[in-house]
Structure 1
Amino acid sequence: MIIHSKAPAVAALLINALVWGVSWWPFKNLQALGLHPLWATALVYLIAFTLLALLFVWRGMWPAQVWRHPGLWALWLASGLTNVGFNWAVTVGDVVRVVLLFYLMPAWSVLVAWWLLGERPHGKALLRLALALCGLVIVLKTPETPWPVPQSLPDVLALLGGLSFAITNVLLLKLRDTPDSARMLAMFGGGASMATLTALLALGAGVIAPMPNVLEYAGSWLPWALALSSAFLFGNFALQLGAAQLPAHTTALVMLSEVVFASVSSYLLGASEWSLRTAAGGSLILLAALLAVGWPARKTTGAQA
């Protein structure tokens, strides 16, 4: 009976994990249509932010709290950088490798919580951190590299995205008393604005090309962009629904299914390559994440960017 009562909440979390686990595919298709993942992220999140803002205005729920709580601007920044890092990395890199590096988030959370919340890491937290960092070394180390440092742009982006995700989760814990609408607008607004700013900076540095003519390509871009925006909004609503009805450690465990969705979909569609090194290092990273679920802190939270 208890399991049955929790089934809708678990299903909602699985929907959110599925959305994020296969989001690499629409982004890769948009890139094939000439839209760089930074421009694509800006477009997708701008659409989602606009729809969300209109919904809240229509329901008389415009969250003035965004202006009253400075912490929401930090959430805006951290969530935006999370999406910039993950979406860019998963579009141009090996999907499984990117997702595994991104899921170092539980390890970074130990350090971020110490920094932002003053929570000194205990022995179990340090063990998780050590396991995750050992996994990181194994994944990054190749015979050609004397030291296991990130060797590619996707590696760097995935690591920075995971760090930003850890900061996002800690900020959500600090801002748990603010309205859901304010937090959602901050996260989607951050995705749109930070992707746009990063794209402009990258354009000025000659890293990416200018955004192609919107009128010329809108017919091919818009279906993908609208589908992604709708999926992210639906996934976020599903996350709020599921996380509100389950313990935080259960939410974190279910959300690890994103790794499964990403791995299976990318393997079937030929977007990733498995190696013994990736499997071994990834196992340690996932073990650290599972231990974080099994050893929750006194106050925990979970979120998806």
Structure 2
Amino acid sequence: MAAPDAGRLAPALALVVNAFVWGISWWPFRELQSAGLHPLWATAFIYLVSVVLLLLARPGAWRGFAGQPLLWLLMAAAGLTNVGFNWAVTVGDVVRVVLLFYLMPAWTVLLAWPLLGERPTPAALVRLVLALAGVAVILHTPGAPWPVPRTLADALALLGGFSFAITNILLRRLQAAPPVTRIGAMFAGGALAAAATGWVGWSQGQVPAPVLLEGGRLGVALLLSLGFLVGNAALQFGASRLPAQTTSLVMLCEVLFASVSAVLLGAAGLAPGTWVGGALVVGAAAWSACDAPGAARAGTPQSAA
């Protein structure tokens, strides 16, 4: 195998940072829910804070929307990603939700070819199979059915993963747009989609009204907002510089972060199968990050790594 490409190392590490933020985000969302704040309202608040901070730092961020209609699609895709994932991790088993969310590489393989012109190479398909085999090993429990959307959490996780695959592909398509504008679109999408879904759920009696946070819980919300600010900036940096399937596979590190954090905080047990499956997932991600196509260039459609 060729030596790791130094030009790809920084984007890959940036994606790992984003995966870490998302992988441990289930805990603060559950803390906020225990204080009476539904994850939809929590998501809307967190991203509203991020939008305000972004506009204070870069007041002209929205000027980049001119002539970039795909930014509106990015806003919608990022919003649905947050609605699906953030809600799912508070109502379902954390590890199961994250694993269903990370069927995302399969969606990317299907979408990246027609939308980006990135044909999956044989090596990319092998890495994809390796990663999905790891997911299957982690999910497998004797006598239990294979995961299908039987619960709200399952459906939300699948929705979030599909939307995240579209988000990553759009980030590749929008490399010409200013990075700060892409970040602003994702933050605004998170706030608007969560607020709109929360309002619909509230009007139907399915979502409780928002509550005011005080003291430590407000600090948790603000810290989570800062974490998503850093994580989304890292995603912008990494996903815009790597092929879509590479991004998807590197981001599978979130499975490991979520599993370990859930075990350490007493929210899950780590069975032997999880260790084996996690090793397969991380191995596929590391292989993908290190094995670069020779002609890879930012902004140029290419075969998936």
| TM-score band, normalised by shorter chain | 0.7 to 0.9
Q: d(CA) in 1 for partners of 2:15 and 2:286?
A: 17
Counterparts of 2:20 and 2:122 in 1: how far apart (Å)?
33
Whichever residue aligns with residue 56 of structure 2, its letter is L
| Amino acid paired to 1:261 | F
By how many angstroms is 1:260 displaced? 2.4
1:172 aligns with 2:174: no
CA distance, structure 2, for counterparts of residue 5 and residue 291 of structure 1? 15
Picking from 19, 28, 31, the partner of 2:21 is 19
In structure 2, the CA distance between the partners of 1:139 and 1:259, relative to structure 1 (3 Å rule), is closer
Give the AA of the match of 2:181: A
Pairing 1:218-237 to 2, within 5 Å after superposition? 218-219=214-215, 221-237=217-233
Structure 1: any 5+ residue segments left out of the alignment? none
SS at match of 1:63: helix
Q: Residue 83 in 1 paired to residue 82 in 2?
A: yes
- Matched residue, 1:100: 99
Corresponding residue SS for 2:210: coil
Which string of whole-angstrom CA distances, capped at 9 and with x for unpartnered residues, describes residues 231-252 of structure 1?
Answer: 21123334456678x8668876
Matches within 5 A, 1:193-212: 193-212=192-211
Q: Give ranges in structure 2 of 5+ residues lacking alignment.
A: 299-305
TM-score by length of 1: 0.78
For 1:1-305, list aligned pairs within 5 A: 13-57=15-59, 61-119=60-118, 121=120, 148-212=147-211, 214=212, 217-219=213-215, 221-240=217-236, 255-275=251-271, 293=289
| Worse-matched range after superposition: 198-207 or 89-98 | 198-207
Matched-pair contact (CA < 8 Å) for 1:141–1:149:
no
| Per-residue deviation, residues 74-110 of structure 1 (Å, max 9, x unmatched) | 0000011111111111222222222222122211101
Structure 2 CA distance for aligned equivalents of residues 253 and 151 of structure 1: 26
Task: Report the 3-state secondary structure (helix = DSSP H, G, I; strand = E; otherwise coil) of the residue aligned with 1:149.
Answer: coil
Asked whether the equivalents of residues 138 and 278 of structure 1 are also in contact (C-alpha less than 8 Å), the reply is yes
Does the Cα contact within 8 Å between 1:173 and 1:300 map onto a contact in 2? no
CA distance in 2, matches of 1:268, 1:80: 29
Bigger shift: 62-71 or 235-244? 235-244
Identity percentage of aligned residues: 53
Task: Pick closer, same or farther for the CA change 1:288–1:257 going to 2, 3 Å.
Answer: closer
The one-letter code of the counterpart of 2:199 is: L
Q: TM-score, normalised by structure 2?
A: 0.78
When residues 18 and 141 of structure 1 are mapped into structure 2, their CA distance, relative to the original with a 3 A threshold, is closer
How far did residue 5 of structure 1 move? 10
Following superposition, the deviation at residue 142 of structure 1 comes to 6.7
Compare 4-13 and 14-23 and name the one that shifted more.
4-13
Alpha-carbon offset, residue 165 of structure 1: 0.7
Alignment coverage as a number of residue pairs: 293
Measured in 1, the distance between the counterparts of 2:117 and 2:239 equals: 25
Give the SS at the match of 1:201: helix
